[in-house]
Structure 1
Amino acid sequence: MNNNENKSEKLSLLIDFIQWLDSWKKVGIFLVLTCFMGAAYFSYYYRDAIFTWVLYIYNEPVLEIEGMETEISNLIKDTHADAIAIWGVERRDNFRVLRYLSISGKRKSKIEGRSDLILRARSEQSDIIIDLFNNGTGCFYLSPDSDMGDVLLDAGIDYFCASTTPPDYSFLNGFVMVGFKKPPLNQDYIKQRLRITSSRLTQ
C-alpha cells in the first residue's frame, strides 16, 4: 500500500512539474539550471583532476633547494633526524637525482648529483617508493638498492620517513627523506612536518 502511495505521489509531482513548464521561458530556465547543477557536480566530483590540469597548463611546480638551507635545518631540528636526503625525480625517464644529502649534520656534497633508477624489477625499494607515491608520506626501513643507500646504512641510519614534493598534487617532482638510527615514536608528527617542508621547497 505504501509503495503504491509513493508511486502515486511521485507521478503527481511529475505531472505538476510538466504542467508548470507551460512556456519556452520556463523550459529555458529549467535547462540552464540543469546544466549549471550538472557542471557544479562534475566540477566538485573531479576537482582534484581539474586542479591538476590547471597546474599543468599554467605552472608546473618546481623543486627548489637553493636558498632553503634554513628550512632544511629547521626540519632536521624539529624531527631530530640523523640524516636528510632530497631527491629530484624524472618519472618519464625512470630516474632520480640526489639533490641534497646531510648525515649527522655534515653535508655530503661529493655524493650529491648522483642518479639512480626510481623503479626496478623485483626490488623491495621499488615497492617502498610506489607506496610513497600513492600515499604522499610514509615511514619505512631502507634497503640497500643503491650506493647512496649503502652510504646511509654504513652510518647506521636505516629507518626513514618521507614525503613527496609537492605533497598535495599529482605533479611528483621529488621527495624529501629524513633518516634515523632507530624508529622514532612521533611518526605522525614527522610526516606532517615533512609535508610542510615539501610545500615550502616546491615553488
Structure 2
Amino acid sequence: MAGGVRDEAWHDGVVRRYRDDMMRRVGGRLGGFGADTEDVVQAVFLTAWRRRDHVPDDPLPWLYDVTNKLLANYWRKRRRQRSTLMLLGAETTVDEGGLASWAEAQDLRVALATLARADQQILTLRYDCDLTATDIAATLRCTPEAARKRLERARERLRRAMKRVHGRGDARHAGVAGEPIGGTGVDDAYGL
C-alpha cells in the first residue's frame, strides 16, 4: 500500500477532491450529466474503495484509467442494448445531437481507438479533462514543453486517423455527393 491509511476518511477525501473532475470527464464522454454519468462516477469511486491498496498516492491518473475502462464497458453495453432492440424491431433514438453528430462522435471514438495509448491519454487529459499543459506535465511527469509537443503530435495523428476513418467510403458517412457529413469532426470535437 502506498503512503497513509486507506480508511473511510481517505476515501471521502478522494471523492471530495476528484468528484468534479470525474463528473466533467464522464459527462463529456456521455454527452450530459444525467443518471448514467452519476452511475459511472459512483462506480469509479467504488472501484477506488475496493482496490484502495492499489491506488497510488497521486490517484488522478489511476482514476482516469478506471474511468476509461468503465466507459468502455458502458458503451459496449449500450451497443448490445441497441442491437437487441433492433433485432426485436423496436425503434432506437439518437441523443439530442442528431445523427450527424452521433456519427461524428462514433468516428472520433474509432479514430482515437487506432492511436497509441500515450496519444489517447494525452488527448483525453487535454480535451476530456480540460487540463492545461502544466497539469498534463505534472500528471505525466514531464516538462510542460514536452507535454505541449506530445499533445501537438497526438493531435496530428488524430487528424490523420479521422481522415482514414472518413476515407473508408462507409455509407454511414456519406452526405451530399458522397462528402462526409460535417467534415472530419476532429476540429469540432477536439477544437483542433
TM-score normalised by structure 1 residue count: 0.25
Q: Which has the larger radius of gyration?
A: 1
Structure richer in strand, relative to its length: 1
Structure richer in helix, relative to its length: 2
TM-score normalised by structure 2 residue count: 0.26
